[in-house]
A = this chain, B = another copy of it.
Amino acid sequence: MSAPTVYDVAERSGVSIATVSRVYRNPDSVRAQTRERVLDAARELGYVPSGNARGLASRTTGVLGLCFPDYADPDAEADAEADSDADDAVMLYSDQIIRGMERAARRHGYALLIAASLEGGPESLVAKVAGRVDGFAVLAQTVPTEDLEVISRRLPVVMLAGPREIDHLDHIVVANADGERELARHLIEDHGLRRLAFIGGEVASPDAEARFRGFQEACRDAGLPVPDAPDMRAEMMTQAEGARTAEAMLDRYAGLSDTERPQAMLFANDQMAVGALRALERRGVRVPEDLAVTGFDGIPLSRIVRPPLTTVRQPIRQLGEQAVELLVQRLGDREREPVSLMLPVSLARRASCGCG
């Protein structure tokens, strides 16, 4: 009793397999009466068209893919309450992209195949994805460049966030530098702050680095001293690290007078800023009266914390949607020149910088 095929359905309904095929592919090309016979037979048999066979024969899958970073050790015990916020941050990011892609894909009639990259997975599962989709998106640093090199010669690939590693690929980033520059400018010009401290992430994070560059630009533009490195770096960009770095900053500047110590801390992301907010509260530092605090990302939590966090909203979902648009476009025209999109970000002025 193996699964029924077009042959079974054809036989049972007294038509040829070509007709069965037509019924599923282009129902109107078959006389209504014939069509019903076929459909009935299919129902009785429990027939489900094989996507594989279809794909093989038609050379398209109707599926788009996404490779994203391994956001958690899959072998880790699932403990809802104890999940680290590091996890959460990355996951939220991936979730949003998945949402965006799924939504856009659906609009174009595609389904979405997702796969997180294992650490040192065998034959990288990108291969698995690549072979089953019409095109796919890759989050930066998820897939070895050399693999992409090979794969992208055979099907559309769009790189998301991070540097454009392969120049013939479509590529989308968010305006990290612009956003941070605008944020710093706001603090400097609108709030009259002069002494700003930037708390960065690991050097390997292209996003965090780009944000720091934006910070530098704002300093330069305002005629303030331009630091050549973040005042401090956090390895993880988590709430815990945010709290830790905030306290470390406090200690570092403890001996300084009010006119010397920083008036604002700009964190490379919201998670850290939120952690800092809590640490500062514990230490009796009032935000924004004593110190302004800002983040980056615009995660939901940023609106909920007290004081609400001034931050830069990243259009993460749109990143996913745009990715699909580019893939669909390229599927329609393989010759189109590769594009590199930079999605605009927007400043969310809230209480933590003294606004509102």
Min CB–CB distance A132 → chain B (angstroms): 3
Residues of B within 8 A of A318 (CB): 78, 80
- Given the complex of chains A and B, what is the CA–CA distance between A53 and B61 in angstroms? 11
Question: Would A52 and B61 count as touching, CB distance under 8 A?
Answer: yes
Contact residues in B for A95 (Cβ distance below 8 Å): 95, 98-99
> Does residue A103 face the partner (Cβ distance < 8 Å to B)?
yes
A100 on interface, CB distance cutoff 8 Å: yes
Cβ contact within 8 Å between A128 and B104: no
Q: Does A205 contact B (CB under 8 A)?
A: no
Q: Which of A310-331 contact B (CB under 8 A)?
A: 313, 315, 317-318, 321
**Bound Cα distance A78, B116 (Å):** 25
Q: Does A204 contact B (CB under 8 A)?
A: no
Distance from A99 Cβ to chain B, minimum over Cβ atoms (Å): 6
Task: Name the one of B50, B71, B74, B315 contacting A131, with C-beta atoms under 8 angstroms.
Answer: B50
| B residues near A112, Cβ cutoff 8 Å | 113-115
> Which B residues are in CB contact (< 8 Å) with A341?
none
- A55 CA to B49 CA in the complex, in Å? 13
Known: A3-B154, A56-B53. A78 touches B127 (CB 8 A): no
> Contacts A51-B131, A95-B98 known; A125 to B111 CB distance under 8 Å?
yes
Given B48, B74, B153, which contacts A46 in the complex, CB threshold below 8 Å? B153
Q: How far is the CB of A54 from chain B (nearest CB, A)?
A: 7
A63 touches B131 (CB 8 A): no
Residues on the B chain within 8 Å of A71, using CB: 99
Q: Is the CB of B49 within 8 A of A52?
A: no
A80 and B313 contact, CB distance less than 8 A? yes
**A211 to chain B: closest CB distance in Å?**
19
Task: Find out whether the CB atom of A49 lies under 8 angstroms from the CB atom of B131.
Answer: yes
Mark contacts of A92-111 with chain B using CB atoms, 8 A cut-off: 1 yes-contact digit, 0 otherwise: 00010011101110110001
Least Cβ–Cβ distance between A214 and chain B, in angstroms: 20
Contact B132 A103 (CB under 8 A): no
Residues of chain B within 8 A (CB-CB) of A113 are 63, 111-114
Choose among B42, B100, B106, B313 the residue that contacts A115 (Cβ–Cβ < 8 A): B106
Asked whether A62 is an interface residue with its Cβ less than 8 Å from the other chain, the reply is yes
B154–A46 touching, CB < 8 Å: yes
Cβ of A115: which chain B residues have Cβ within 8 Å of it?
102, 106, 111-112
Q: CB-CB contacts of A47-76 with B at 8 A, as 1s and 0s?
A: 111111111100001110000000110110
Q: Is the CB of B102 within 8 A of A116?
A: yes
Q: Given contacts A56-B52, A150-B46, A150-B48, is CB(A129)–CB(B114) below 8 Å?
A: no
Known A55-B55, A111-B113; further 20 A-B contacts with Cβ < 8 A:
A46-B154, A47-B154, A48-B131, A48-B151, A48-B155, A51-B55, A51-B128, A52-B52, A61-B132, A71-B99, A74-B107, A78-B321, A80-B313, A91-B99, A98-B98, A98-B114, A102-B116, A112-B115, A113-B113, A132-B132
**Interface residues, chain A, with chain B CB atoms under 8 Å away:** 3-4, 24, 42-43, 46-56, 61-63, 71-72, 74-75, 78, 80-81, 88, 91, 95, 98-100, 102-104, 106-107, 111-116, 118, 123, 125, 127-133, 150-151, 153-155, 298, 300-301, 304-305, 313, 315, 317-318, 321
